[in-house]
Amino acid sequence: QSFRERIKVIADWWRDLHAKRTQLKAHVERSGRTVQEHEESRIQALKINSKQKEEKMKKDGELLRAKMELETLRKNHQKLCKKVQKYSIFKKYLEDVVKVSRFEDISEVTSRYKLLVRTQKDLLQSQQGHKQLTEQDKVFLEQYKAEKETEMLQYKNELMQLKLRFDQAQSEIPLWEAHWADIQNRTSKKTGKLWTIKLAIHNNLFQ
């Protein structure tokens, strides 16, 4: 009886243990699903957070670009306002000019001004072209002068050589004159001898 009671107690304990084991297993499974759900939720939250950060950075960049464009537009607006102010003053000045001049309206004044500007531009281009031609002429003149100076130097060298030859020839003239006089003297002597021989021959022939 005692053994049976102990067996019954052990069987009851085993059933309780098996039930607790089943409950624990179910709890672990539920906990695992909960942890997985939490992990998935955390990953999803990280993705959403990363996407939100990326969108925030993108919006911040767009906002920065918009601020820069706004600053550029503001500066351009200030410049345009200053130009408009200057142009309004200039318009008032042109109106006063029209009043005291022979022009009928401002458009005629501006047309005349544009014509004068074009004329001045054409004159400047013409002067620049004339200046370029003058510079080219100067270059050609310098080249021509250099060529002629080279030719003159060559002619001077040739003239010096001819002068040297002339001087040498003049220095040889007395020698050639003396030689010629000697030739003439010898010729006259030979001619005298020849006449003497001719006379002797004629005399002999006559005798």
pLDDT per position as a tens digit, 108-164: 877 878 888 888 888 888 888 777 878 888 888 888 888 988 888 998 898 898 888
pLDDT of residue 82: 83
Q: For a pLDDT cut of 70, what percent of the chain falls above it?
A: 98
The number of beta carbons lying within 10 Å of the beta carbon of residue 83 is 11
Cα maximum dimension of the chain: 224
Residue 4 has pLDDT above 80, yes or no: no
Residue 35 has pLDDT above 80, yes or no: no
pLDDT of residue 140: 85
The two three-digit tokens of residue 147, written as one number: 């060529």
Q: How far is CA 113 from the centre of its chain?
A: 35
CB-count burial class (<10 Å; 0-12, 13-18, 19+) for 45: exposed
pTM: 0.29
The pLDDT of 30-48, averaged and rounded, is 82
The pLDDT of 100-109, averaged and rounded, is 74
Q: How confident is the model at residue 178 (pLDDT cuts 50, 70, 90)?
A: confident
Amino acid at 119: T
DSSP tag of 140: H
pLDDT of residue 5: 77
In Å, what is the CA distance from 158 to each residue of 152, 153, 169, 199?
10, 9, 16, 57
